[in-house]
Amino acid sequence: MSETEVAVHGQGALMEGSPYAIPSRKFTMWLFIISDAVTFGAFLFAYGYIRVATPNWVRPFETGSVINVILMTVVLITSSLTMLGAGDASKAGDKAKAMRFLYSTMALGAIFALLHLREWFELFGRGITIGSGLFGQTFFTITGLHLLHVLSGVIAMLVVGTKYSSGRLTPSHVETMGLYWHFVDLVWMFVVPLVYLTNIAH
């Protein structure tokens, strides 16, 4: 490449395009998602082995908890749908609509967190805590890690949304934020069956 071309197109002219045809921030998010999936995988595998290897495992979830977890799951899956709307509206250049969708997603994330805390406090009331045995340790570690992801996502969405509405961030940032949020939803699809549904009191 000649010096003239570099002068005209800048240093970016020297860089090759992404082999995946996606922006680098989106690819970085994918790499983060993969590493986070492995982290959750480690916790879930550990839980699975401890769960199967331990006789007299605690099965604390009754009908009330099952209804609560159904509500939590529906709320989280719905938030993924509103996040898709936010990404699409931002791509179409409709900032007001994108923000409405983002606020809906944040509200659903907050509702999910509140339902989660309600479940936790219900267990605390029955003497099940992180220090009360293998069930408590694994349950609160895995669900706590997931809740941390949800809360981080809500805060990150607030930051991205605010900056996007003021024009400092682009629709691509909203899309990348969406990837993270869908991942949080995806992890929940493994947490619920393994941690909740296998521990229903019969």
Partner 1 sequence: MSAASASGNVIRKYLPVYFLLIGIFLVEVLLSFRISHTSTLVIVLLLMAICSAVLGLMYFMHLGEERRGLFLTLIPVTIFVLLMMNMWWSDSVRLLHMRPPGQ
CA-wise closest residue to 86 among 65, 71, 117, 108: 108
Residue at token pair 């930051």: 159
Q: Where are the alpha helices (DSSP H) in 54-170?
A: 63-91, 95-125, 134-165
Q: Which is nearer to partner 1, 84 or 124 (CB)?
A: 84
CA distance 42 to 177: 24
Smallest distance, partner 1 to C-beta of residue 19, A: 6
Smallest distance, partner 1 to C-beta of residue 169, A: 18
Residue 61, strand partner residues: 200
Q: Which is nearer to partner 1, 85 or 133 (CB)?
A: 85
Q: Which is nearer to partner 1, 49 or 155 (CB)?
A: 49
Smallest distance, partner 1 to C-beta of residue 13, A: 23
Residue 200, strand partner residues: 61
Q: Which is nearer to partner 1, 124 or 190 (CB)?
A: 190
Q: What is the DSSP string of 38-50?
A: HHHHHHHHHHHHH
For the chain, the straight-line distance linking the first and the last C-alpha, in angstroms and rounded, comes to 71
Smallest distance, partner 1 to C-beta of residue 93, A: 5
Give the footprint of partner 1 on this chain (CB under 8 A). 19-22, 27, 30, 34, 37-38, 41-42, 45-46, 48-54, 66, 70, 73-74, 77-78, 80-81, 84-85, 87-89, 91-94, 97-98, 101, 179, 182-183, 185-186, 189-190, 192-194, 197-198, 200, 202
